[in-house]
Structure 1
Amino acid sequence: MTRHEEQGGTGRAVGRRARALRIAGLTLAGALVLGAAAAGWAYWHLNNNITGVDINSALGDDRPARAVIAPPVTASAAASPLPTGSLNILVLGSDSRSGKANQALGGGDSSGARSDTAMVMHIDAGRTEATVVSIPRDTLVTRPSCPLPSGGSTAMAYQTMFNSAYSVGGPVCAVKTVESVTNVRMDHYIEIDFSGFARLVDALGGVDVTTEQDIDDDKSHLHLAAGDHHLDGTQALALARTRHGIGDGSDLGRIGLQQTLVKALLERIAATDLLTAPARLYQVADAVTASLTTDTGLDSLKELMNLGQSLKGLTADRVRTVTMPVVPAPFDPNRVVAKEPAASTLWASLR
């Protein structure tokens, strides 16, 4: 082989390597662009899933004072931009009647929605401990006059069921009624509907719960023997709605099951390393945001992520669940009223 032939062969080999490198580089660049585009689309999609309600503007200044409790600033706290002050969040589970998914899960017709579950979540300063207070939906309260999105306002109502506030005035009236009953300022509002809850549980791979007694409820379509169970989303939702198959059939028995589910969800989230499973993380985020309504202080993915990160030290064993103290209403055994002074003492501890 001549020197010219050797150089030609070497040149062709170098050329092939150069082309291969260019192709690999273009492929990598394309993958990075597509990855960035996919990430951008995912963020946009999740962000636009969330529905926001401007509760602060609707209610104005006629509200309880904000809590100003915050832990002492330490070197580590000063280095972190995450908030650490105490919070009170009204969490509602609504039996929304819109959409095929909600109707299939028991949401009924499309004429409206009710707040099937109501909890005030108080997060202590430092955000490593919390108290979740359930409010029975059958509690008789004085419902204040609430502003309506279309203008005007609802009429004040006496001795009316607590969950009527959401029915007549939506999130704004639900917040105003809770603040009127408790004299505690709600810093945020979070609402998730039937389908969103079921999808969240499924995205997490189900939840593990222990039932203390047999449950046989034809209305919620749930039939479980006492013991340990792994529930999918539909079953978990049925457990959250069950009332006729346990205890005396009142809302108080159902609240106990809902509190069990809250703990089970927290434990499941803690046990699932979502950061190492991007597909699972996206499923969970999509399930939550698709059926989520919040106040405008939480109606973006960034704000929700900041809240979640600020609660990273809050574990299931540091969450206390209680029910607002109640007694049967004197004129209607199927309804309850706040038990005083125990109820007022509980709410005062959350201010």
Structure 2
Amino acid sequence: MDPLELKSAIREWALELGFTDLRVCDTDLSAYEAGFLRWLEAGNQGSMSYMDRHGLLRFRPDELVPGTRRVLMVSRDYLPPESTGPSEVLRDPGKGYVSRYALGRDYHKVVRKNLQHLARRISEETGPFTYRAFCDSAPVYETGLAERSGLGWKGKHSLVLNRSGGSWFFLGTLFVDIELPVDKPVSAHCGSCTACIDVCPTGAIIEDGVVDARRCISYLTIEADEDIPEELRPLMGNRIYGCDDCQLVCPWNRFARVTGEADFHARHGLDAPDLLDLFGWDERTFLSRTEGSAIRRIGWRRWRRNLAVAIGNLPSDHPQVGQAVSMLEGALGEAGEQVDRHIRWALRRLRRP
């Protein structure tokens, strides 16, 4: 099989495994290095120290995995079918909003597993070869590789956009030492639209394609282990794990596809959960309900911290305020001083005249 035929066959095998698309690029990401260094110098990474630690390695695939010649980039749709739409949940302050990517099984494991299957299928045709599979799991600049491969373009919200699928998809990466024809990048199609920038609750998108993580709700609820800044808490509303506002408003997402992958369907009612029900989970319940989920990685204490903020954002005339105050008071001392600080903030908010 010549390289062009092999590439075509690999794409077909990827589609059979449930991937939405597969494209190929080389390893040259040098054009992204200067922008990343400026982003770091501005402190936009917050407390994500691994960003500094790995430095420019994320732009040098052939240094991360010596011998890498090509990168296979795959996408996989994840938008789940839901009885309650995300916008409806955001409008109900008594519900908790969980980013749609985290409603089902942990995507890191699902995507990497299927990339391993793809690599084994390739080896049946080519014989043994060197490869390594990634899915948001190493210092790999997936956005740049997706752009280089033609899988999509970097939107103003910094996520990869595709004309036929919007942005509701995961990216997966397979480094290989096989020479394959590369695909051409696609041009950006955001034009003058600034919907994602305008809608961001905390103003985290500070310029086209640049996000200040320190203001981003996804960072604050998932990555940050420090206290959530008090000035940002009221802006978070009922978002308890991640934030999808920039995707929900993006015009390209009218073309997004609902996933057929059962692993990405919502579990335990987390597509529209009651805030007080979630706050009632003890650590054992949290670990049980989030088994196999990306949510588990933040731990019960951060989960409670996030919930305390969302509960503190209940309107003063909400029918659950009385019950919320009682639950928060009873939870003091259960999950550590950091959570207590957020609970006390929430109580001050709920008791205000």
TM-score range, shorter chain: under 0.3
TM-score between the two structures when normalised by the length of structure 1: 0.24
Task: Give the TM-score normalised by structure 2.
Answer: 0.24
Larger radius of gyration: 1
Question: More strand per residue: 1 or 2?
Answer: 1
